[in-house]
């Protein structure tokens, strides 16, 4: 049997190729024009002479053309997850792609970012949340971003986007909900400030810069979404009923969200607010519902009650050439010991444990490429895509639980 060749994480990244620069320069403005997207760039950003480090919120594909358009005629390298290279390794590396395995503590990508900025003397862009926003609000950041900025010693530029998420939310990317999309690039820290501030102070400034609320922004701007399917898929993040308390019984379609257990029903208006049709309970603001669910999971974790089990189908992304391959099955357990998988992979016994300390967050994908809901479990050499076989609509809770377990057992108990 032919030995499969794995993706090479150690291959040095390139500056963007000249011919792909031209493609970007032509494509980005047109893509923005046809999607009602606009970007504002502060003068201080345009005045920067050398390379800089761009930190950007991450809501949809539109994040990329916004940055391309904003910094033209400059170009940037991009830190991206390894599976993005499935689109063509020559293309991803040709535009300056730097591969990363999500939520791992490997040093390969960090070293490559440093080489890219310091040795290649080129601007680099990173999405510190390492995933698309799930509810139009900021997600957890890597706690070492401030250290990276300090080590690079170049200006830090922030890209805040709004409308991108509402146009194509992670829980239902299609159909597009037509709405104005806006980006803003500004200097978050000058070179002098990077040298003067501590890594902790830089981290604090970054954390504050990422705070956002797409739904609040929409109401304040008065941007209406008239899409007839604007609530379709919303149950993927609003999985727990605030009326009867049941989990994973929520459903959605068209402009409505409802509980199949108790029959409670809500309607989403054109400003994305939820209005109870047969109940006065619940939340009108989507992020409030989302945060309430997190608090419910937090209680389970602190009371020692949280535990999740299911069988999973396992895929492995070997390389661009090999693609995604079914490699086996396992029983998955998630509790205070982290993620544990016991089963069979490539015809051999398989056991993998990712302790709570190794994952400050979890990357999830709703119906990834039409293959089903999955979670990514990665180490420095492999990314496994785990597809729950029985449990329905469990991803958002797994996402919350991973973060709350880390907070409780690592941040709180670890500091005592």
pLDDT of 33 > 80? The answer is yes
- CA 323 → CA 6, 17, 87, 101, 104, distances in Å? 10, 24, 10, 16, 21
- Rounded CA gap, 153 and 151, in Å? 5
Tokens (6 digits) for 414: 């670890």
How does pLDDT run across 109-120, given as a tens digit for each residue? 999 999 999 999
- Please list, residue by residue across 363-395, b when 16 or more beta carbons sit within 10 angstroms of its beta carbon and e when fewer do: bbbbebeeeebbbbbbeeebbbbbbbeebebbb
Confidence of residue 84 (pLDDT cuts 50, 70, 90): confident
d(CA 140, CA 369): 24
The stretch 285-302 carries a mean pLDDT of 98
Residues in the chain: 416
Burial classification of residue 343, based on how many CB atoms lie within 10 Å of its CB (0-12 exposed, 13-18 middle, 19 or more buried):
middle
- Looking at residue 356, what DSSP letter applies? G
| Predicted pLDDT of residue 1 | 38
Residues 294 and 397 sit within 8 Å (Cβ to Cβ)? no
- pLDDT, mean of residues 295-309: 98
218-231 pLDDT, tens digit per residue, is 999 999 999 999 99
**Which residue matches tokens 């544990």?**
340
Q: How many CB atoms lie within 10 A of CB 302?
A: 13
User: What's the token pair of residue 70?
Assistant: 């904003």
pTM of the predicted protein model: 0.93
């Amino acid at each position: 049997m032919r030995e499969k060749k794995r993706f090479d994480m150690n291959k040095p990244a390139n500056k963007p190729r000249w011919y792909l620069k031209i493609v970007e320069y032509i494509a980005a403005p047109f893509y923005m024009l046809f999607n009602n997207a606009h970007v504002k760039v502060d003068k201080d950003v345009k005045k920067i002479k050398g390379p800089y480090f761009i930190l950007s919120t991450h809501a949809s594909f539109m994040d990329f053309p916004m940055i391309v358009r904003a910094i033209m005629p400059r170009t940037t390298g991009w830190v991206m997850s390894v599976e993005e290279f499935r689109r063509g390794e020559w293309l991803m590396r040709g535009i300056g792609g730097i591969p990363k395995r999500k939520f791992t503590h490997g040093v390969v990508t960090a070293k490559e970012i440093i080489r890219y900025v310091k040795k290649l003397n080129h601007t680099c862009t990173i999405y510190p949340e390492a995933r698309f926003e799930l509810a139009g609000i900021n997600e957890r950041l890597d706690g070492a971003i401030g250290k990276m900025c300090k080590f690079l010693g170049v200006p830090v530029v922030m890209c805040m986007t709004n409308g991108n998420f509402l146009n194509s939310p992670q829980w239902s990317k299609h159909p597009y909900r037509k709405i104005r999309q806006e980006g803003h690039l500004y200097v978050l820290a000058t070179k002098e400030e990077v040298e003067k501030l501590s890594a902790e102070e830089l981290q604090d400034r970054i954390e504050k810069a990422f705070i956002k609320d797409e739904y609040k922004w929409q109401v304040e701007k008065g941007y209406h979404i008239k899409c007839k399917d604007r609530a379709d898929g919303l149950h993927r993040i609003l999985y727990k009923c605030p009326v009867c308390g049941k989990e994973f019984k929520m459903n959605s379609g068209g402009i409505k969200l409802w509980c199949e257990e108790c029959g409670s029903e809500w309607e989403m208006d054109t400003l994305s607010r939820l209005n109870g049709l047969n109940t006065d309970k619940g939340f009108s603001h989507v992020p409030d519902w989302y945060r309430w669910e997190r608090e419910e999971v937090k209680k389970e974790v602190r009371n020692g009650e949280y535990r999740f089990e299911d069988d999973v189908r396992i895929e492995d992304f070997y390389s661009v050439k090999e693609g995604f391959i079914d490699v086996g099955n396992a029983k998955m357990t998630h509790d205070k010991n982290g993620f544990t998988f016991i089963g069979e992979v490539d015809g051999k016994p398989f056991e993998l444990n990712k302790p709570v300390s190794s994952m400050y967050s979890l990357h999830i994908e709703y119906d990834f490429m039409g293959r089903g809901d999955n979670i990514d479990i990665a180490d420095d050499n492999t990314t496994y895509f785990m597809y729950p076989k029985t449990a329905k609509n469990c991803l958002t809770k797994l996402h919350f639980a991973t973060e709350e377990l880390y907070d409780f057992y690592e941040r709180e108990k670890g500091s005592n």
